[in-house]
Amino acid sequence: MAVLAGLAAICGAGNAREAGPHDAVAGVTPKYVAAPGCTEEVAAVLRLAADQALTVVPRGTGTKLAWGAPPRSVDLVLDTTRLARVVEHAAGDLVVVVEAGTRLDTLQETLAAHGQRLALDPPSGGTVGGTVAANAAGPLRLLYGTARDLLIGVTVVRADGVVARAGGKVVKNVAGYDLGKLFTGSYGTLGVITQAVFRLHPLPAARAYVTRTVADAAEASRLVQAVLRSQLVPAALELDLPRPGGPATLVVLLEGAPAGVPARAETLVALLGGDARAGEEAPPWWGRHPFGPDDIALKIAYPIADLEAVMTALAGAGGLEPTLRGSVGTGVLHAGLPGDADPAAVARLLGTLRQALRPWGSAILLQAPPAVAVDRWGDVPALALMRRVKTQFDPAHRLSPGRFVGGI
């Protein structure tokens, strides 16, 4: 109870409590939940956790909490949802400073009122901090990149409660870029992100979605290469494959000025041929993962030229029928399988994919039930360096222990 009293003294009596089953992190139930309301309170919570040798897992809205390996232990869930302010929006400079617990959809509504957006559209939604921590991105990653590319400043709190800031509020300011990139995709293992600074983009005045049915893997690969070699500058290039070996749908998003988008769409329809057609509405599956919260989820990264090899490997999935969807223009696909799929077959599929993708690609098991007992991350050449970085930032290994590659 002394720990709970200490957390309540920092965060307020209504913002610290004993944890329940619904607070579990990948099946591991914590002891306490605390919701600090500012960076200083986050620092105080982490100092208390260090004094009490508590393991800590940061959590926003929890949309990606099942991703990664289950933690070895979790004593305290640090809830960031009270860190939900847009601190500053410098519309003239196309820069926003925002707290990590801010929901992405809320931030986009605020920016849209000024004709701007943060060009991050991860299907999982969630908070700013969770998006950075998982380096999550959606279709727009083709033209605008991921959180790592749009982040220009960051405030983090280390495991010992020390606050660190890097970068700034100027797009051309490169000071501290490395720290922001280091924390992007770190799954909460290096520190707690409390504030982020992003560069923004204007909302497009016009959009067109060009859709084309694809017969097989060879045709998909050919058409993707044709689009990428063209001068049409697509904002997104997505593929939806409901069943391995079956027909797929390729959709290209064009954005820009009302005077130019229709002509570009017409050119693209001619380039794709077949049943290609242009429209103003995205297909229902656009910007959605091919898996639900109880499904098995894979993330596949590969050289763009290897799309056919990836689709062929999935087609020979040994009785499994994964749904495939994602950004073929950047070489990132997600695959979904029912949660009750045979664990041994899932392990074989992962092995087949990893073998096919060596040495430049990867196949990550994002989420799965405990019965799928395989290495979720696969071989990581920089693992030794990553372990040294982890030890430098979190010597006692108390932050999200075991969640990341190699048990970091």
DSSP class of 28: B
Last residue of a domain, one of 202, 221, 251: 202
Q: Measuring CA to CA, which residue among 222, 195, 202, 181 is closest to residue 37?
A: 195
Q: Could you tell me the CATH number of the domain that includes residue 310?
A: 3.30.70
Beta bridge partners of 299: 334, 364
* 400 in a structural domain: no
* 213 in a structural domain: yes
Q: Alpha-carbon distance 65 to 172, whole Å? A: 33
Tokens of 382: 């920089």
Q: Could you tell me the CATH number of the domain that includes residue 1?
A: 3.30.43.10
Q: Measuring CA to CA, which residue among 254, 251, 213, 259 is closest to residue 231?
A: 254
| Paired sense of beta strands 201-202 and 206-214, if any | unpaired
Q: Indicate if 104 and 145 belong to the same structural domain.
A: yes
pLDDT at 224: 98
Q: Indicate if 90 and 185 belong to the same structural domain.
A: yes
Q: Indicate if 183 and 225 belong to the same structural domain.
A: no
Into how many domains does the chain fold?
4
pLDDT at 170: 57
Where helices occur in 113-209 by DSSP H, the ranges are 128-134, 141-144, 147-150, 177-183
pLDDT at 175: 47
Last residue of a domain, one of 144, 172, 202: 202
* 227 in a structural domain: yes
Q: Indicate if 238 and 196 belong to the same structural domain.
A: no
Q: Indicate if 102 and 189 belong to the same structural domain.
A: yes
Domain residue limits at 7: 1-81
* 314 in a structural domain: yes
Q: Could you tell me the CATH number of the domain that includes residue 245?
A: 3.30.70.100
Last residue of a domain, one of 228, 245, 279: 279
Q: List per-block mean pLDDT (blocks of 10 residues) for the chain, which spans 408 residues.
A: 94 96 94 98 98 98 93 97 98 98 98 98 95 96 96 96 85 58 96 98 98 96 97 98 91 97 98 98 97 96 93 83 96 96 94 89 94 92 95 97 95
Place of tokens 């596949």: 300
Q: Could you tell me the CATH number of the domain that includes residue 137?
A: 3.30.465.10
Q: Indicate if 101 and 171 belong to the same structural domain.
A: yes
Q: Indicate if 48 and 113 belong to the same structural domain.
A: no
Residue 171: CA atoms inside 13 Å, Cβ hemisphere, count? Answer: 12
Q: Indicate if 260 and 307 belong to the same structural domain.
A: no
* 396 in a structural domain: no
Helix (H) or strand (E) holding 279: strand 277-279
pTM: 0.93
Q: Indicate if 45 and 137 belong to the same structural domain.
A: no
Q: Assess contact for 149 and 184: CB atoms under 8 A.
A: no
Q: Indicate if 125 and 143 belong to the same structural domain.
A: yes
Q: Indicate if 336 and 239 belong to the same structural domain.
A: no
pLDDT at 171: 53
* 394 in a structural domain: no
Q: Alpha-carbon distance 176 to 174, whole Å? A: 6
